[in-house]
Structure 1
């Protein structure tokens, strides 16, 4: 019983510390119109090959 409780607590601790983010790079509406998400830069590679992969900071885009 104690081993199951310990395993459950370990699992819940690990799951609660997980975080993630994403980008909507393409959107298709119900009327068939395609669009792009706000703040998505076309020249940014989406393969993680830069020095800080998947980190994009646009300081001048917003006032």
Structure 2
């Protein structure tokens, strides 16, 4: 999922990473969740946006 949006718009990659992280967290896969949530926060959209979901991810 994240790979499909890696060349898209900034917010698409952020949301793909965020929701992949939340999915893995719900599956009790903490290491995979951490990788995706960190990627979401470090993305250009996640690091600069005032979006509520970007704040939530941080």
TM, length-normalised to structure 2: 0.26
> Whose helix fraction is larger, Structure 1's or Structure 2's?
2
> Whose strand fraction is larger, Structure 1's or Structure 2's?
1
**Quick one: higher RCO (CA 8 Å, sep 6+), 1 or 2?**
2
TM, length-normalised to structure 1: 0.24
